[in-house]
Amino acid sequence: MTEQAPKKVDMEKVVSLCRRRGFIFPSSEIYGGLSSCWDYGPLGVELKRNIKDAWWRAMVQERDDMVGLDASIMMHPQTWAASGHLEGFVDPLVECKSCHRRWRSDDLEGDNCPSCGGELTESRLFNLMFKTFMGPVEEEASVVYLRPETAQGIFVNFQNVLNTTRRRLPFGIAQVGKAFRNEITTGNFIFRSREFEQMEIEFFVKPGTDQEWFNYWIEERLNWYVKLGIKRANLKLRQHGKEELAHYARDCYDINYLFPMGWSELEGIANRGDFDLVQHASFSGKSMDYFDDETKEHFIPYIIEPSAGVDRSVLAFLCDAYDEEPDEDEIRVLLHLHPSLAPIKVAVLPLSRREKLAGVAKQIYADLRQCWMVSYDDAQSIGRRYRRQDEIGTPFCVTVDFQSLEDEQVTIRERDTMNQIRVPISELKKILQAKLKGESLFVLPPGGMIWKVEREEGG
């Protein structure tokens, strides 16, 4: 197989599709929107949930060395002193003296404002954590922070999980949840926002085995994206230089994706050594030791952290799936989403709204909805309806026609190939189940029927 060349898609096309079809809206749009905050619409919420579910399934459910956690967003303020965020989670900020726009000075290419060319102020350090107050009194003593990463909730629960699950090293704790960063500059759609979601693993290992596990997790995480359909050519690993390593990291690789604006970070995988547990032991006075009952040693585990962004994954999966195919006098826009990620798995399309046909179609719709997100569409021509489903990535359409009333069969039409097969209604669920799993061999129904495979002109 020849390796495909990297391919960038136009961001405007993806944003427009997301707006048009209800994947993603600007937050509080009726008030003019809130800068860098986004709302996931009916299709976006499904896609996002499917991504998180796929991650949880592969990283927690199917592994015997991982458990889950859901820690609170607000944590004891000492957490952030220990983690280094109070002191070190800062970006250098400059402001334009003319237009008052603010910039991250380490992002700027020149000495003047990139927007109006005005003079810039001296750079000052700006802490990215959102501050709020716990309880009714707004005073310094009641300050709490919205977590800027989910990781710290895992570190502070290390002993709780260890003691209640009787885990032995190596093992990991996984968590999916919101994080907040008061980023100076945001943009590129959902790529950089101030409220976002992370999928993080903290994998605890014996010191000395950390390099091996670090390599393992880089490979494992890269493969996860590829298995779910991202083209390998659009993914690249980038090792952090010594000077750019975060204060806690011994080594770090980014998984970069070829986003519309260029190669950018999708996920970071860091070898955090024992930094976090040592810090929390010192600030809390509680032991973070692990006792190895084979060697009878006490030690603080090292941590390998694969940290992925949910929203950046949504954007990467959308960009990678986006495609336009010339089709007669129109362009067929489609999302080649992996079936497990597609917001809607099956669309049921009766050829006409006539009662007899609608009755059968609605029954099929009700039956399939027990298993998947299914949509029902009886408006406009069948060709238009196929296009609408292609555009949102629905892998299969089930068409109910007048012949269905006689032969009790329906047509399954595939999104990518536009191939059509005719199947008995009684076998429909089983066949869709197999097809959604990517299986191509089906059990023939009693009577050994052979399904007709044909390509319909014009899809």
Residues of this chain that bind ligand ATP (CB under 6 A): 149, 181, 183, 192-193, 196, 198, 265-268, 307-309, 311-312
Of residues 11 and 169, the one with the C-beta less far from ligand ATP: 11
| Between 270 and 374, CB nearer to ligand ATP | 270
Name the residue nearer to ligand ATP (CB basis): 107 or 416. Answer: 107
Q: How far is the CB of 91 from ligand ATP (least distance, A)?
A: 9
For every residue of 50-83, DSSP letters joined together read HHHHHHHIIIIIT-SSEEE----SB--THHHHHH
SS3 455: strand
Host H or E run for residue 222: helix 210-227
Cis, peptide link before residue 170, omega less than 30° from 0? yes
Closest approach of Cβ 311 to ligand ATP, in Å? 5
Cβ-closest position to ligand ATP:
309
Shortest Å, Cβ 191 to ligand ATP: 6
Contact 398, 348 (CB under 8 A): yes
The CB-of-265 to ligand ATP minimum distance in angstroms stands at 5
Supply 436's token pair.
């959604």
* CA separation for the pair 370, 358 (Å, rounded): 19
Structural contact between residues 341 and 405, judged by C-beta atoms closer than 8 angstroms: no
Q: What single-letter amino acid sits at 57?
A: R
Q: Is-cis flag, bond preceding 260, omega within 30?
A: no
Pick between residue 222 and residue 368 the one whose CB is nearest to ligand ATP: 222
Least gap, CB of 149 to ligand ATP (angstroms) = 6
Beta strands 374-376 and 346-350, pairing class: parallel
Our CB check for ligand ATP shows the closer of 274 and 311 to be: 311
C-alpha distance from residue 50 to each of 39, 198, 199 (Å):
16, 14, 13
Task: Give min distance, CB of 305 to ligand ATP, in A.
Answer: 9
Closest separation in Å from C-beta 218 to ligand ATP: 13
Using alpha carbons only, give the angle 245, 161, 280 rounded to the nearest 5 degrees. Answer: 45
**Single-letter amino acid code for the residue at 230:** I
Q: Of 308 and 318, which CB lies nearer to ligand ATP in the complex structure?
A: 308
Minimum Å gap between C-beta 263 and ligand ATP is 12
CB nearer to ligand ATP: give 56 or 442: 56
Pick the closer one to ligand ATP by CB: 309 or 350. Answer: 309
Rounded to the nearest whole angstrom, what is the least distance from the CB of residue 313 to ligand ATP in the complex?
7
d(CA 125, CA 67) in angstroms, rounded, equals 37
DSSP letter at 291? E
Angle value at C-alpha 143, between 140 and 149, nearest 5 degrees:
145
Distance CA 278, CA 289 (A): 9
Q: What is the CA angle 413-415-419, rounded to 5?
A: 45
Under DSSP, the state recorded for 101 is -
- From the CB of 68, what's the least distance to ligand ATP, in Å? 18
Nearer to ligand ATP, 181 or 388 (CB): 181
Q: How far apart are CA 26 and CA 33, in angstroms?
A: 6
Give the residue with the Cβ less far from ligand ATP, 272 or 385.
272
Measured CA to CA, the distance from residue 116 to residue 98 in angstroms comes to 8
Give least dist CB 150 to ligand ATP, A.
9
Nearer to ligand ATP, 189 or 451 (CB): 189
Shorter beta-carbon distance to ligand ATP: residue 264 or 419: 264
The answer to whether 79 touches 151, Cβ cutoff 8 Å, is no
Residue in 330, 407, 394 with CA at minimum distance from that of residue 47:
394
CB 346 → ligand ATP: shortest distance, Å? Answer: 31
Helix (H) or strand (E) holding 302: strand 302-309
